Amino acid sequence: MWQCTFLPVLFGCLSGSAFSAQRSWLLSSQRPHFDRPGDVIVGGSFSIFDLSIGNLSDFTAPPSRLVASGVSNWDYRVAQSFVFAIEEINRSAHLLPNVTLGFSIRNSGDTVHGALHETMSFLTRQQEPIPNYTCQHGSPQAALVGDTRSSLSVSMARLLGLYKFPQVSYSSSLPILSDKIQFPSFMRTLTSDLISSLAVTLLIIHFQWSWVIILAHDDDFGQQASSLATQKLSTAGVCIEYTLHVPSHESLGKIEEIVQTMEKSTARVVLVFLSSSNFQLILYGLLDVPVSGQVWVSKGALHMALALNIPRVSQVLHSTFGLLYHSSRAIGFPEFLANLRPSQTPEDMFIKKFWEFSFGCTWPHQSRTMTDGIHLCSGNESLKNKQYPFAEVSKIDAAYTAVYSIAHALQDMITHGHQLGKVTDSQDLQPWQLLQALRKVHFKTPDGSEIIFDANGDLVTKFDILQGQKTPEGVFHLVHVGMIDPQVSSGSKMKFHLMEDLHVPSSVCSESCLPGFSQVPRLGAPHCCFDCSPCPEGQFADQRDMKSCLLCPKEQYSSHTRDRCLPRTEIFLAFEEPLGFMLALVALFLAGLAVLVLGVFLKHRDSPVVRANNRSLSYLLLLSLCLCALCALLFLGRPSVFTCLLRQTTFAVVFTVAVSSVLAKTLTVVLAFRVTRPGDRIRVCLSPGASTSVVLIASFMQVVLCGVWLATSPPFPDRDMVSESQHIVIQCQEGSGTIFFCVLGYLGLLAVGTFSVAFLARDLPDVFNETKFLNFSMLLFCSVWTAFLPLYHSARGKSTVAVEIFSILASTAGLLGGIFIPKCYIILLKPERNTPAWLRQGHQTHQEGQSEMLQRRCVPRSTPQNFMV
C-alpha cells in the first residue's frame, strides 16, 4: 500500500528540483543497494563503490553518468559488520526479542552529492526522492548509520538534523560534529579528533618527553589540533622545537623544506596530525637525509601501520606510537566473512563487484572481453586469507557498535514506553523519540565493552596504545603496550595503564639535572634548554630538574653532594678537645708560675732585689697576672649566662690592674731619678700610697665601665649560625658593642701610656730598677694585642675564642717573664748580687757616671734618693 505523506519540516538547504527527474542524470538509473525487510529498518551509508564522472563537463550539456571506478575493501567489510550485528541481534533472546530488525544499505560513492542523494532516498523511500515527501509503504525507519568520511557525514548531518532523524557515524571524527546546535541528531561511536589529539598529547606528557616537534596538516583540524597540543604541552612544561604545517596539496617544495628543518632538529619525538598521504611523503623524504632515532607519535594506528611498511623506514624511526579506539570486537565476525558467498545473499547488489576486486576474477556472461591473468569467478572463493592488510587495525568492527547502540535504544523505548512518549510497539516509533533514548543509552556489548555517550553525542571510549617495535632484523611490528582510560578521570586528565617493562626513549633539549644541581636557563633558548649548576653552600636540591636550590633550615646544613640537609652540631671550645686542653694547661702553668714567683718574692722580701721598685706593687702585679692566666679558663667550655657575664669583665679588670701596676712601677722609677734635692715635692709621689692610688684610680675607672656594661646590655650566650656552615657555634654575644669597645679601648689606652712611659725611662741607670724589663714586657704586651685585632676579626667560630685565649696567655707570659724572670734569676741563681755590698758598688758606679754627666752639663751634683720600699 503506497501512501505519500508531506514531511513537516521544509528542506531549506536544497531546492525541490535538486532530487527531481531533471537531475536524474547525475546518478545511475539503478543505484545498487542491499535491503532486508524487518519490523524496524536501520539504514546504512557506506562508500563501497567510488563513483566518478566519466567526462568533464563544459556546462553546455549534462555530464555523463556516474560510474564505479573502484571498490573499497574496507567499506564493504564495515558494511558486512553492519549486517553481522543485525543478524546477531535478531538471533538474541534478550535484545529486542519480539522485534526483527531490517536494514537498507546504500552506497554514497565517497561523494557529497551521492551521500545526500542516498540519505534523501532512504528518508522518502524513493529511488528518485522528492524532498519533504515520504511514501510510507513499510516498516518504520529507526536511524541511519554512516558515513565514512567526515565531509560526507557533515552534509548528511545537516540534512538529517532538520528532521531530528538519528544518525550514528562509525568513522567521522571531525571536531565540529560535536556541536549539537548545528548537528542536533548526530552521534558517533568514536571520539572526536580533538579528544584523540588530547589523548596523544597527554601520552607525550606521561612519557616525560620535554622536547618535541609538531607536524600538522595545514587545515582547520591541523590548526586546531596543533593549537590544542601546544597549549597542553606548554602548560605541562614541554617545549616545542618546531611546529611545521604541511599544506593540503602535495607541495614537494614545502615537503623538502620541512624535511630540511627536521634534519637539523635535535628533538627525537615527532607529534603527527597529518593525512596518510602527507605522512608517507615526509617519511620518504627523511630516508635520504641523515636523520635517525626519531619516535613518531600519531593519534591514529593506521598511520603507524602505513609507516612501518615503508622500505628502509628503520633508518629513520626508532619507534612509533599510535592510538587505537578500544572498540567492540565482533566475536565470530572473521568466521562470518570467511563463510560469505554471493549465492547466499542474492539481494546484495555490491557483493559481485567486491568479489571481482578481491579475487581478480570476472563473472561469466560479462560483456567485456577476458584479458590475460583474469579468471572466472566461481563464487566459492573464501575470504579467509583475504584479511585487511594490517591485522592490528583490522580489529576495528566500526559499524558493529553503532547497530548495537540503536538496538539498545529501541529496547529502552519499548521497555520504558511510558517515559518516552508512550512508545509500546515498534510500529509506533518516531525517530525523534529514538534520538532521546539513544543519547541516554548505556550498555555492554557481547564482548563486554561498555558503551556510553557524552553530552556531545561522542562515544566515551578507551584508547589502546600501540607501539611499533623494531626487531633485531630491523623489521617493525605493532605491539599493544597499554591503554588510556578517560572514564575514570575528570577534566582533561586521563589514566594510563602501561606495560611495566615498556622501554621509552628520551627526548630532551638538555639532560636532566641530578639532585644537588639546579637548572640555569640558557639565554635566548626555551625553558627546556638549560645548564646544570651545583647548589651553593647552605642550599640543596633533593630532586631532579629543580628550577632553583632550596635553603636548608637554620638548624641544618647541606651535604657534600648538596642533595639533602644534615643536622648541624653545636660546637664550642671545650676542655676535652686537644686545643682546649693545651690552652687550659698553659693557663694553669702560668698561674702556677706566678704563684711560685710570688712565693719566691715573699720568701726573699727583705732582699734588695725584691725591695727595689716597690715590693707591694710587685705582689699586686704577680697576683693580677695569676688571675689573668686563670681568667682564660672562663673562655673554655660551653658558654652560660654566668660565664658570659664574667669573661670579658674579669679579663678587663684584672688586666687593668696588671697594666696599671706596671704603670705605677714605671712612674716610681722615673720619679725617683727626678728627685735631685731634699724636700722636693716630687718626693711625695714616691710614697707607697701614691703608687697604690694610681692602681686604684685606673682600676676603678675600668670597674665603672664594666658596671655600666653589665647594667645596660650585658653579654649573653648566643648561637652563631653563620660562621661555620656545618656547625652551630655556641658563643658569648657581647651585648652592647659600643661599651665593649670602650672597655677594650680604655685598656689599650692604658697599655700604650704605660709603654710610652717605660720607653722614655729605658736609658735610666740600672742598679735594681727594672725600666728595661718594664719596657720590654710592655713591648711584648702591646705587640700581642696589636696582632690580636686582625686575627680576632678574621677568625670564625670557636677559633675566635682560641685567638683571645692565646692573646691573654701570651701577654700574661710576656709581663711575667719580662719583669720577674730576671729577678728570680738573681735571687735564685746569683745570690751574690742580691746583697747591700753589690748595691753600694752599684751606687758608687752610678755616682761616678752621674758626676761625669753633670760636669758636661755644668750643673751641681746630687745623689739619687734610694727608692727601695
Is the pLDDT at 302 greater than 80, yes or no? Answer: no
> Could you give the 3-state DSSP secondary structure of residue 497?
strand
Residue pair 77/393 in contact by the 8 Å Cβ criterion: no
Residue 474's alpha-carbon distances to 306, 468, 501, 692, in angstroms, are 16, 11, 21, 106
Residue pair 229/172 in contact by the 8 Å Cβ criterion: no
Using the Cα atoms of residue 841, residue 843, residue 846 and residue 850 in order, give the sign of their dihedral.
Answer: negative
Q: How far apart are CA 230 and CA 359, in angstroms?
A: 47
How many residues are there in the chain? 869
Residue pair 740/774 in contact by the 8 Å Cβ criterion: no
Residue 776: all three cell numbers together: 720590654
What's the pLDDT at 307?
62
Which residues have a Cβ under 8 Å from the Cβ of 104 and sit 6 or more positions away? 33, 34, 35, 36, 41, 42, 43, 44, 122
Percent of the chain surpassing pLDDT 70 = 80
Residue 243: all three cell numbers together: 611546529
Lowest mean pLDDT among 266-275, 317-326, 439-448, 774-783: 317-326
DSSP assignment of 556-625, as one string? Answer: EEE-TTSSSEEEPEEE---SSSHHHHHHHHHHHHHHHHHHHHHHHHHHTTTSHHHHTT-HHHHHHHHHHH
Q: Which amino acid is present at 18?
A: A
Q: Which burial class, exposed, middle or buried, applies to 487 when counting CB atoms under 10 A from its CB (0-12, 13-18, 19+)? A: exposed
What's the pLDDT at 528?
87
Higher pLDDT, residue 848 or 602:
602
> Which of 274-278, 702-706, 733-737, 790-794 ranks highest by mean pLDDT?
702-706
Q: How far apart are CA 615 and CA 608, in angstroms?
A: 10
Using the Cα atoms of residue 625, residue 629, residue 630 and residue 634 in order, give the sign of their dihedral.
Answer: positive
Q: Which residues pair with 296 in a beta bridge?
A: 270, 320
| Average pLDDT, integer, range 825-845 | 72
Q: How far apart are CA 63 and CA 255, in angstroms?
A: 36
Residue 43's alpha-carbon distances to 1, 88, 119, 428, 645, in angstroms, are 21, 17, 9, 18, 102
Q: Where are the alpha helices (DSSP H) in 440-541?
A: none
Residue 276: all three cell numbers together: 596518510
Task: Name the residue among 41, 71, 67, 74 with its Cα closest to residue 53.
Answer: 67
Is the pLDDT at 20 greater than 70, yes or no? Answer: no
Q: Which residue has the cell 584523540?
A: 196
Lowest mean pLDDT among 89-98, 289-298, 851-860: 851-860
Residue 124: all three cell numbers together: 522518502
- pLDDT tens digit string along 405-457? 999 999 998 887 644 444 455 566 788 889 999 999 999 988 888 899 999 99
Q: Which residue has the cell 552534509?
A: 155
- pLDDT tens digit string along 187-246? 999 888 888 888 888 899 889 898 999 999 888 778 888 998 999 899 888 999 999 998
> Which of 31-35, 378-382, 653-657 ranks highest by mean pLDDT?
653-657
What's the pLDDT at 608?
82
Lowest mean pLDDT among 119-128, 272-281, 336-345: 272-281
**Cα 562 to chain centroid, rounded:** 18
| Average pLDDT, integer, range 508-532 | 91
Is the pLDDT at 402 greater than 90, yes or no? Answer: yes
Q: Which residues pair with 452 in a beta bridge?
A: 442
